[in-house]
Amino acid sequence: MEPRIKGSPLFLLGLPFVPLYFLGWKLRTALYRRGVIPQRSLEVKVISVGNLTLGGSGKTPLVLYLAQGLKQRGYRPGVLSRGYGRKGRGLLLLEEVKGLSPKDVGDEPYLLAKYGIPVLVERDRFRSGRMAQARGFFPLILDDGFQYLGLYRDVDILIIDSSNPWGNGFLLPAGPLREPLGEVRRAHIILLNRADQASNLGDLKRKLRRLKGDIALFEAAYLPQSLHLLGEDEEISLRKLRGKGVYALSALGNPTSFELSLEDLGAILVGKRRYLDHHFYKRDEVEEVWKEAERRGANWVVTTEKDEVKLTDLLPFKFPILSLRMRLAIRQEEDFWRALDALLVGGSLRTT
Protein backbone atom coordinates (compact mmCIF):
# COMPACT_ATOMS: atom_id res chain seq x y z
CA MET A 1 0.00 0.00 0.00
CA GLU A 2 1.41 3.36 -1.02
CA PRO A 3 0.96 6.23 1.43
CA ARG A 4 -2.18 8.30 1.13
CA ILE A 5 -1.10 11.88 0.66
CA LYS A 6 -2.53 14.41 3.08
CA GLY A 7 -5.33 16.31 1.40
CA SER A 8 -6.03 13.58 -1.16
CA PRO A 9 -9.62 12.23 -1.48
CA LEU A 10 -8.67 8.86 0.07
CA PHE A 11 -7.02 10.57 3.02
CA LEU A 12 -9.96 12.90 3.61
CA LEU A 13 -12.44 10.02 3.38
CA GLY A 14 -10.50 7.94 5.88
CA LEU A 15 -9.64 10.66 8.37
CA PRO A 16 -13.00 10.74 10.26
CA PHE A 17 -12.71 6.99 10.94
CA VAL A 18 -9.21 7.12 12.48
CA PRO A 19 -10.53 7.72 16.05
CA LEU A 20 -12.87 4.72 15.71
CA TYR A 21 -10.01 2.54 14.47
CA PHE A 22 -7.81 3.74 17.35
CA LEU A 23 -10.49 2.98 19.94
CA GLY A 24 -10.97 -0.50 18.49
CA TRP A 25 -7.23 -1.12 18.56
CA LYS A 26 -6.97 0.22 22.12
CA LEU A 27 -9.78 -2.03 23.37
CA ARG A 28 -8.39 -5.15 21.72
CA THR A 29 -4.89 -4.51 23.04
CA ALA A 30 -6.20 -3.88 26.58
CA LEU A 31 -8.18 -7.13 26.56
CA TYR A 32 -5.05 -9.10 25.74
CA ARG A 33 -2.78 -7.22 28.16
CA ARG A 34 -5.20 -7.72 31.06
CA GLY A 35 -5.71 -11.38 30.26
CA VAL A 36 -9.40 -11.07 29.42
CA ILE A 37 -8.56 -12.66 26.09
CA PRO A 38 -5.86 -15.25 26.85
CA GLN A 39 -2.62 -15.44 24.93
CA ARG A 40 -1.88 -19.08 24.14
CA SER A 41 1.61 -20.60 24.20
CA LEU A 42 3.31 -23.40 22.29
CA GLU A 43 5.97 -25.72 23.64
CA VAL A 44 8.52 -24.63 21.02
CA LYS A 45 10.21 -21.29 20.49
CA VAL A 46 8.37 -18.82 18.28
CA ILE A 47 9.99 -16.00 16.31
CA SER A 48 7.53 -13.41 15.05
CA VAL A 49 8.20 -11.33 11.94
CA GLY A 50 5.95 -8.33 11.41
CA ASN A 51 5.62 -4.63 10.75
CA LEU A 52 3.65 -1.56 11.81
CA THR A 53 2.31 -0.69 8.36
CA LEU A 54 0.26 -2.36 5.67
CA GLY A 55 2.43 -4.41 3.30
CA GLY A 56 5.60 -3.65 1.44
CA SER A 57 8.22 -3.74 4.21
CA GLY A 58 9.76 -7.07 3.22
CA LYS A 59 8.37 -9.61 5.69
CA THR A 60 8.44 -12.60 3.33
CA PRO A 61 12.09 -12.16 2.25
CA LEU A 62 13.01 -11.89 5.95
CA VAL A 63 11.05 -15.07 6.77
CA LEU A 64 12.91 -16.85 3.97
CA TYR A 65 16.24 -15.47 5.20
CA LEU A 66 15.55 -16.67 8.76
CA ALA A 67 14.34 -20.10 7.69
CA GLN A 68 17.32 -20.71 5.42
CA GLY A 69 19.75 -19.43 8.07
CA LEU A 70 18.25 -21.70 10.72
CA LYS A 71 18.44 -24.70 8.38
CA GLN A 72 22.11 -23.97 7.74
CA ARG A 73 22.65 -23.97 11.50
CA GLY A 74 21.19 -27.46 11.79
CA TYR A 75 17.60 -26.68 12.82
CA ARG A 76 14.28 -27.66 11.29
CA PRO A 77 12.25 -24.47 11.18
CA GLY A 78 8.61 -24.24 10.16
CA VAL A 79 6.63 -21.18 9.12
CA LEU A 80 3.14 -20.35 10.37
CA SER A 81 1.28 -18.37 7.71
CA ARG A 82 -2.26 -17.15 7.34
CA GLY A 83 -2.10 -17.83 3.59
CA TYR A 84 -3.60 -14.50 2.58
CA GLY A 85 -5.67 -14.67 -0.63
CA ARG A 86 -5.77 -18.46 -0.99
CA LYS A 87 -8.88 -20.23 -2.27
CA GLY A 88 -8.87 -23.18 0.12
CA ARG A 89 -9.67 -23.28 3.82
CA GLY A 90 -8.55 -25.41 6.71
CA LEU A 91 -5.13 -26.43 7.96
CA LEU A 92 -2.56 -27.24 5.30
CA LEU A 93 1.02 -28.43 5.67
CA LEU A 94 2.94 -27.31 2.62
CA GLU A 95 6.32 -29.01 2.11
CA GLU A 96 6.49 -28.95 -1.68
CA VAL A 97 4.64 -27.15 -4.46
CA LYS A 98 4.30 -29.96 -7.01
CA GLY A 99 0.72 -30.14 -8.22
CA LEU A 100 -0.27 -26.96 -6.39
CA SER A 101 -0.96 -23.40 -7.47
CA PRO A 102 -0.35 -20.16 -5.56
CA LYS A 103 -4.12 -19.70 -5.63
CA ASP A 104 -4.50 -22.88 -3.57
CA VAL A 105 -2.14 -21.88 -0.77
CA GLY A 106 -1.39 -18.15 -1.14
CA ASP A 107 1.44 -16.55 -3.10
CA GLU A 108 3.81 -16.08 -0.15
CA PRO A 109 3.50 -19.63 1.30
CA TYR A 110 3.99 -20.99 -2.22
CA LEU A 111 7.17 -18.96 -2.67
CA LEU A 112 8.57 -20.15 0.67
CA ALA A 113 7.72 -23.80 -0.03
CA LYS A 114 9.38 -23.51 -3.43
CA TYR A 115 12.65 -23.10 -1.49
CA GLY A 116 11.97 -26.19 0.59
CA ILE A 117 10.69 -24.31 3.66
CA PRO A 118 7.80 -26.14 5.41
CA VAL A 119 4.81 -23.81 5.74
CA LEU A 120 1.70 -24.47 7.79
CA VAL A 121 -1.18 -22.46 6.38
CA GLU A 122 -4.14 -21.65 8.63
CA ARG A 123 -5.82 -18.52 10.01
CA ASP A 124 -5.53 -19.95 13.56
CA ARG A 125 -1.76 -19.91 14.09
CA PHE A 126 -2.06 -21.69 17.46
CA ARG A 127 -3.73 -24.62 15.75
CA SER A 128 -1.10 -24.75 12.99
CA GLY A 129 1.62 -24.27 15.61
CA ARG A 130 0.45 -27.34 17.52
CA MET A 131 0.71 -29.40 14.34
CA ALA A 132 4.16 -27.93 13.70
CA GLN A 133 5.47 -28.87 17.14
CA ALA A 134 3.95 -32.37 16.80
CA ARG A 135 5.87 -32.76 13.52
CA GLY A 136 9.12 -31.73 15.19
CA PHE A 137 9.62 -28.32 13.58
CA PHE A 138 11.80 -26.00 15.66
CA PRO A 139 11.85 -23.06 15.99
CA LEU A 140 8.64 -21.71 14.45
CA ILE A 141 8.50 -18.47 12.46
CA LEU A 142 5.23 -16.57 12.78
CA ASP A 143 4.75 -14.69 9.51
CA ASP A 144 3.09 -11.26 9.82
CA GLY A 145 2.82 -11.79 13.55
CA PHE A 146 3.40 -8.43 15.21
CA GLN A 147 -0.33 -7.78 15.61
CA TYR A 148 -1.22 -11.47 16.20
CA LEU A 149 -1.49 -11.12 19.96
CA GLY A 150 -3.28 -14.42 20.48
CA LEU A 151 -0.04 -16.42 20.27
CA TYR A 152 2.92 -15.98 22.61
CA ARG A 153 6.22 -15.38 20.88
CA ASP A 154 9.74 -15.56 22.32
CA VAL A 155 11.15 -13.01 19.89
CA ASP A 156 9.43 -10.17 18.05
CA ILE A 157 11.32 -8.94 14.99
CA LEU A 158 9.87 -5.72 13.59
CA ILE A 159 10.84 -4.90 10.01
CA ILE A 160 10.59 -1.28 8.85
CA ASP A 161 10.88 0.06 5.32
CA SER A 162 13.54 2.74 5.81
CA SER A 163 12.72 4.40 2.49
CA ASN A 164 9.16 5.14 3.67
CA PRO A 165 8.82 4.02 7.30
CA TRP A 166 5.41 5.44 8.28
CA GLY A 167 3.77 6.65 5.07
CA ASN A 168 1.83 9.81 5.90
CA GLY A 169 2.07 9.02 9.63
CA PHE A 170 -1.65 8.34 10.12
CA LEU A 171 -3.42 5.24 11.37
CA LEU A 172 -5.79 3.28 9.18
CA PRO A 173 -7.89 4.09 7.23
CA ALA A 174 -6.36 7.52 6.54
CA GLY A 175 -2.82 6.12 6.47
CA PRO A 176 -0.91 2.84 6.42
CA LEU A 177 -0.19 2.49 10.15
CA ARG A 178 -1.73 -0.55 11.84
CA GLU A 179 -0.70 0.67 15.29
CA PRO A 180 0.70 3.85 16.90
CA LEU A 181 4.47 4.31 16.62
CA GLY A 182 4.96 3.75 20.35
CA GLU A 183 4.23 0.04 19.83
CA VAL A 184 7.77 -0.43 18.50
CA ARG A 185 8.60 -0.91 22.20
CA ARG A 186 7.19 -4.44 21.93
CA ALA A 187 9.94 -5.40 19.50
CA HIS A 188 13.12 -7.18 20.58
CA ILE A 189 14.90 -6.60 17.26
CA ILE A 190 14.24 -3.96 14.61
CA LEU A 191 15.42 -4.49 11.06
CA LEU A 192 15.68 -1.34 8.95
CA ASN A 193 15.08 -2.68 5.48
CA ARG A 194 16.00 -0.85 2.26
CA ALA A 195 18.59 1.09 4.24
CA ASP A 196 20.39 1.82 0.97
CA GLN A 197 17.31 3.71 -0.30
CA ALA A 198 16.70 5.74 2.87
CA SER A 199 17.14 9.49 2.76
CA ASN A 200 17.12 10.05 6.55
CA LEU A 201 18.40 6.82 8.11
CA GLY A 202 20.13 8.65 10.96
CA ASP A 203 16.95 10.51 11.93
CA LEU A 204 14.97 7.26 11.82
CA LYS A 205 17.46 5.52 14.12
CA ARG A 206 17.40 8.39 16.60
CA LYS A 207 13.59 8.36 16.68
CA LEU A 208 13.52 4.61 17.33
CA ARG A 209 16.11 4.88 20.10
CA ARG A 210 14.04 7.61 21.75
CA LEU A 211 11.10 5.21 21.75
CA LYS A 212 13.16 2.30 23.08
CA GLY A 213 16.75 2.98 24.03
CA ASP A 214 17.92 -0.63 24.33
CA ILE A 215 16.52 -1.87 21.03
CA ALA A 216 18.76 -3.99 18.81
CA LEU A 217 18.85 -2.14 15.47
CA PHE A 218 20.15 -3.66 12.22
CA GLU A 219 20.23 -2.46 8.64
CA ALA A 220 19.29 -4.54 5.63
CA ALA A 221 18.98 -4.16 1.87
CA TYR A 222 17.79 -6.17 -1.11
CA LEU A 223 20.56 -7.30 -3.43
CA PRO A 224 19.87 -8.53 -6.97
CA GLN A 225 20.66 -12.23 -7.02
CA SER A 226 19.74 -13.57 -10.45
CA LEU A 227 17.70 -13.00 -13.57
CA HIS A 228 15.57 -15.75 -15.11
CA LEU A 229 13.27 -16.30 -18.04
CA LEU A 230 9.82 -16.92 -16.59
CA GLY A 231 9.40 -20.58 -15.72
CA GLU A 232 13.05 -21.50 -16.23
CA ASP A 233 15.85 -22.03 -13.70
CA GLU A 234 18.76 -21.13 -15.97
CA GLU A 235 20.31 -17.82 -14.95
CA ILE A 236 20.68 -14.86 -17.28
CA SER A 237 23.42 -12.34 -16.58
CA LEU A 238 22.23 -9.26 -14.71
CA ARG A 239 24.36 -7.29 -17.17
CA LYS A 240 21.71 -8.01 -19.82
CA LEU A 241 19.63 -5.20 -18.31
CA ARG A 242 22.28 -2.51 -18.75
CA GLY A 243 21.15 0.14 -21.21
CA LYS A 244 18.03 -1.84 -22.11
CA GLY A 245 14.50 -0.50 -22.11
CA VAL A 246 12.60 -2.29 -19.36
CA TYR A 247 8.91 -2.34 -18.52
CA ALA A 248 8.35 -3.20 -14.84
CA LEU A 249 5.39 -5.41 -13.87
CA SER A 250 4.59 -6.00 -10.20
CA ALA A 251 1.91 -6.56 -7.57
CA LEU A 252 3.69 -5.49 -4.39
CA GLY A 253 3.18 -3.45 -1.28
CA ASN A 254 6.13 -1.24 -2.31
CA PRO A 255 6.69 -1.37 -6.10
CA THR A 256 8.98 1.68 -6.05
CA SER A 257 11.81 -0.30 -4.45
CA PHE A 258 11.66 -2.93 -7.21
CA GLU A 259 11.70 -0.27 -9.92
CA LEU A 260 14.68 1.49 -8.31
CA SER A 261 16.54 -1.83 -8.22
CA LEU A 262 16.05 -2.19 -11.98
CA GLU A 263 17.47 1.29 -12.54
CA ASP A 264 20.39 0.53 -10.22
CA LEU A 265 21.21 -2.40 -12.51
CA GLY A 266 21.47 0.01 -15.44
CA ALA A 267 18.06 -0.60 -16.97
CA ILE A 268 16.13 2.25 -18.58
CA LEU A 269 12.62 2.19 -17.11
CA VAL A 270 10.32 2.96 -20.06
CA GLY A 271 7.09 2.04 -18.28
CA LYS A 272 5.51 0.26 -15.34
CA ARG A 273 2.29 -1.49 -14.41
CA ARG A 274 1.42 -1.80 -10.73
CA TYR A 275 -1.28 -4.03 -9.31
CA LEU A 276 -2.40 -4.33 -5.70
CA ASP A 277 -0.37 -6.56 -3.41
CA HIS A 278 -1.28 -10.28 -3.74
CA HIS A 279 -3.01 -9.69 -7.09
CA PHE A 280 -3.55 -12.83 -9.16
CA TYR A 281 -2.99 -12.09 -12.84
CA LYS A 282 -5.26 -12.83 -15.76
CA ARG A 283 -3.88 -13.66 -19.19
CA ASP A 284 -5.46 -10.63 -20.86
CA GLU A 285 -3.87 -8.33 -18.28
CA VAL A 286 -0.41 -9.69 -19.06
CA GLU A 287 -0.99 -9.50 -22.81
CA GLU A 288 -2.07 -5.87 -22.41
CA VAL A 289 1.13 -5.17 -20.48
CA TRP A 290 3.21 -6.68 -23.26
CA LYS A 291 1.45 -4.57 -25.94
CA GLU A 292 2.06 -1.42 -23.92
CA ALA A 293 5.70 -2.41 -23.38
CA GLU A 294 6.13 -2.86 -27.14
CA ARG A 295 4.59 0.56 -27.81
CA ARG A 296 7.06 2.11 -25.38
CA GLY A 297 10.02 0.41 -27.03
CA ALA A 298 10.86 -1.97 -24.15
CA ASN A 299 13.39 -4.73 -24.72
CA TRP A 300 12.12 -6.67 -21.72
CA VAL A 301 9.18 -6.98 -19.39
CA VAL A 302 10.66 -7.68 -15.95
CA THR A 303 8.76 -8.83 -12.88
CA THR A 304 9.56 -9.97 -9.33
CA GLU A 305 9.95 -13.47 -7.92
CA LYS A 306 6.77 -13.05 -5.88
CA ASP A 307 4.93 -12.28 -9.12
CA GLU A 308 6.80 -14.97 -11.03
CA VAL A 309 5.14 -17.80 -9.07
CA LYS A 310 1.70 -16.47 -10.07
CA LEU A 311 2.57 -15.69 -13.70
CA THR A 312 4.08 -19.15 -14.23
CA ASP A 313 0.57 -20.56 -13.82
CA LEU A 314 -0.39 -18.76 -17.05
CA LEU A 315 2.47 -20.08 -19.21
CA PRO A 316 3.06 -20.29 -22.10
CA PHE A 317 3.10 -16.71 -23.36
CA LYS A 318 3.96 -15.67 -26.91
CA PHE A 319 6.53 -13.24 -25.51
CA PRO A 320 9.34 -13.51 -22.94
CA ILE A 321 9.11 -12.16 -19.40
CA LEU A 322 12.10 -11.95 -17.08
CA SER A 323 12.04 -12.40 -13.32
CA LEU A 324 14.48 -10.53 -11.08
CA ARG A 325 15.19 -12.53 -7.93
CA MET A 326 16.52 -10.60 -4.95
CA ARG A 327 17.97 -11.66 -1.62
CA LEU A 328 17.93 -9.95 1.74
CA ALA A 329 21.34 -8.97 3.09
CA ILE A 330 21.75 -7.85 6.70
CA ARG A 331 24.70 -5.66 7.61
CA GLN A 332 26.62 -6.98 10.61
CA GLU A 333 25.02 -10.34 9.93
CA GLU A 334 26.85 -12.24 12.66
CA ASP A 335 25.81 -9.64 15.25
CA PHE A 336 22.22 -10.12 14.13
CA TRP A 337 22.40 -13.89 14.64
CA ARG A 338 24.10 -13.46 18.01
CA ALA A 339 21.31 -11.10 19.12
CA LEU A 340 18.66 -13.56 17.96
CA ASP A 341 20.47 -16.47 19.58
CA ALA A 342 20.74 -14.62 22.90
CA LEU A 343 17.00 -14.00 22.93
CA LEU A 344 16.27 -17.69 22.42
CA VAL A 345 17.34 -19.11 25.75
CA GLY A 346 20.83 -18.56 27.07
CA GLY A 347 22.65 -18.05 23.81
CA SER A 348 21.60 -21.20 21.99
CA LEU A 349 18.64 -22.41 19.96
CA ARG A 350 17.86 -25.45 22.06
CA THR A 351 14.70 -26.49 23.85
CA THR A 352 14.79 -26.15 27.63
Axis-axis angle for helices 59-72, 107-114 (nearest 10):
30
pLDDT, averaged across the chain: 93
292/98: higher pLDDT: 292
End-to-end CA, the chain = 41
pLDDT of residue 1: 45
Q: What is the mean pLDDT of residues 249-254?
A: 94
d(CA 67, CA 79): 8
pLDDT band for 206, please (50, 70, 90 cuts).
very high
pLDDT at 7 over 90: no
pLDDT at 76 over 90: yes
Residues 6+ apart with CB under 8 A from 241: 227, 262, 265, 266, 267, 300, 302
pLDDT of residue 87: 81
Is 101 in a helix, a strand, or coil?
Answer: coil
Query: Could you read off the pLDDT of 148-204 as tens digits, one per residue?
Result: 999 999 999 999 999 999 999 999 999 999 999 999 999 999 999 999 999 999 999
pLDDT of residue 2: 47
Between the alpha carbon of residue 24 and those of residues 14, 21, 128, 352, the distances in Å are 15, 5, 27, 37
d(CA 244, CA 242): 5
pLDDT of residue 117: 97
Percent of the chain predicted with pLDDT > 90: 86
Q: What is the mean pLDDT of residues 334-343?
A: 94
Q: What is the mean pLDDT of residues 33-58?
A: 94
pLDDT at 205 over 90: yes
> Which of 281, 335, 259, 277 is closest to 101 using CA atoms?
281
pLDDT band for 352, please (50, 70, 90 cuts).
very low
**Full-model pTM:** 0.94
pLDDT of residue 346: 61
Evaluate whether 25 touches 32 at the Cβ level (below 8 Å): no
pLDDT of residue 351: 38
Evaluate whether 224 touches 212 at the Cβ level (below 8 Å): no
> Which of 333, 307, 317 is closest to 66 using CA atoms?
333
pLDDT of residue 3: 53
Distance of CA 352 to the CA centre of its chain: 30
pLDDT at 349 over 80: no
pLDDT of residue 19: 97
Residues in the chain: 352
pLDDT band for 233, please (50, 70, 90 cuts).
confident
pLDDT band for 69, please (50, 70, 90 cuts).
very high
